[in-house]
Structure 1
Amino acid sequence: MIARGDDLLARIEPRPTGTPDIGFGVYVHWPFCAQKCPYCDFNSHVRHGGVDEAAFLAAIRKELAANARLTPGRTVTSVFFGGGTPSLMAPGTVGAVLEAIAGHWAVADDAEITLEANPSSVEASRFRGYRDAGVNRVSLGVQALNDPDLKFLGRLHDVDQALGAVKLARDTFPRLSFDLIYARPGQSVEAWSAELRQAIGYAADHLSLYQLTIEPDTAFARLHEAGKLIVPDADEAAALYEATQEITAAAGLPAYEISNHAAPGAESQHNLLYWRYGEYIGVGAGAHGRIVLGPKGERLATVTERNPETWAARAVENGNAVIEVESIFGETAGDEMLLMGLRLTEGIDIARYQAIAGRRFDEKRIADLLHHGMIEVLPSGRIRTTPSGAFVLDAVVADLAA
């Protein structure tokens, strides 16, 4: 059931359950960018007249308080500042958000605090400010390591700026990750392999490597529909994906999730929280949350207002800007768990799936997927996709969920 109204959270009764074995996360969405990238379908906006950070901070504080009422007794294990471009925020704003979080919940001593940053919006003083505020992990949107492709992707930085930002991040933060986009038009396996090996030379212990996809309602979608942008076909994309897995594994950065690679122990704890179907709140314009409110894993899915200014006004006036809540339980929750958990190389725990979904897997479908090499059952009792299954994940999930 989906509900909409003025203050939907006021009707919800708090319960001290959660997912303490997996963790509890806080996602903070900063929806502003210096420029909208042509491939991006995230809730990001450009405000050439500037942003009233004090007003948005006040709204974030309101939403944190509203979510804290529903989640008593939790311990925050991760905080993620996403966007948009959170590195456009003043370090003092980031620090104030972290102080507000610590005022509502206990924060684990080893909590992972991540901030996304673009190479074009960083400088030494800001990075030191973020570190002093409590950020201990940065994720850089590098996206490519050649200037023509950076221009094609709409990025405001060049390769020299990107590598300078990587070095600065390595010198400032205990942990670093950066993103690259591959399967770009005309990109060969040989060219991508060389670029990836170059990236690994600069990476610390984590890389996020995403295939370029054409998302609806983006500038790239319009070009693609007009026949002016041609991306690699399925066979070419599969070859690029296979090369990615082989090169990263050989370099000690194997995939732990379809698009994420890390040295053992350096995985993103916040993203693992999502993929392991843990509990997290989402504050900021267009943020999503999953709050556990029942002993069998029933979840309250929350969605906030997408327009930044409308979101801020609504949050200050109502105490939160949640515009949609949905109770997720049974097979619907099980389907979500499958969709998230089968992205991981560790797979999912079958017993936990059955407890959340209230159903068992169809043995004939399991046997068929095993026969075709799409999944494997581990000695621990977990189930995961094979490399072939991971490449057609949606089909595997649909088969298991049927």
Structure 2
Amino acid sequence: MMKNAIVAQSGGPTTAINASLAGVIKGCLESHEIDVLYGALNGVEGLMDERLVNLTDIFDHNEENLNVLKLTPAMYLGSCRRKLKDVDQDSSEYDIIINIFRKYHIHYFFYIGGNDSMDTVGKMSRYVKEHQMDVKVIGIPKTIDNDLVVTDHTPGFGSAARYVAASVLEMAHDTYIYNTKSVLIAEIMGRDAGWLTAASVLARNSYSRAPHLIYLPEHPFSKEQFIEDIKAQFKQREHIVIAVSEGLRDVEGHYISAETAAVDAFGHATLSGTGKCLEGLVAEKFGCKVRSVEINVLQRCAAHMASATDIEESWQLGLKGVALALEGKSGEMSIVCRISDEPYQVIYDGADVQQIANAEKKIPTAWINEAGNDVTEEMVRYLRPLIHGSVAVPEQDSMPHYLFLGEAL
């Protein structure tokens, strides 16, 4: 009897998610228990539509393709934002998936994604267990938001943090050249957890203290105090660089940039631009030069700024996911556990996905200063190792060379 596997990717892309995919592929190719590894295009949607590719054919005996895949941004297999229905209310989606598993002799299912993807892992692992099917379901983490619980940090975050910090430093250089008062506001991804915005602190060095103010969604935001903070900064310097999370909320819990009650497929509020909102406020109150910059998709796809630590850990977490499945584990997510900061050391393990799905890791209160406009040294110690090291992205014609599924086929 053949024992095959399927892997899929879901949610928002990262610079490092394909490194985890490469780890899964490597683990399966080296396994003596897995005959064929399929990839489902566009997550569980592609799985249900039976849009599969044979990854064993593409990558077996092709180490070069695998190495390029590790450094390719975004998602090689494509993505989706599909939340499976509650099986007690409607099992039709699960029945379709199970029929696909049976047709292709699937005994291992690997799903790479963030919080909502781990919800899918939890639901699928329960369903196959209740139906006494020999299918191991394993989650492999990713998210630049770094908001998954249990694991010390998530693949993709370190590279995004490195990009954010470098961008803030470069924008500070751009700001400092003019002999006039100015405020630059950098809006950084982070709807409910401010890890990426906090990472902007790594831009500070011996000659620049930018960002001079940092505001996170974990601390209630006051526009009045924001103005006072800027006034205090202007007493010390002519140019102010401010880092803000897109998900800043007021003391009542309302997003300061939410103009409507519209929500996306997962019930997340639709935001209209925190940076622009605050830019107008600063212009009105101070009449100085003010600019807001939204660091948007660049922070999650800038492979040229990838953290070597992030890429290696993402690869290892993919390998660990396969190892967990081959050990007979199911309903688990591969995790990274930090042993020490200096020297930086980690180990890889597995954890019950039911403890992870639909939970959210916020920044500890002790890592935010009392005024709510900066982070502490504990935060810096946590962040610093995650951005270590650069990677050598392969090139063709002096441009980055990445792997694209259509070309590989």
For the pair shown, which has the larger CA radius of gyration, 1 or 2? 2
Greater relative contact order, per chain length (Cα 8 Å cut-off, separation 6+): 2
Q: Which has the higher strand share?
A: 1
TM range (shorter): under 0.3
Query: What TM-score do you get using the length of structure 2 for normalisation?
Result: 0.26
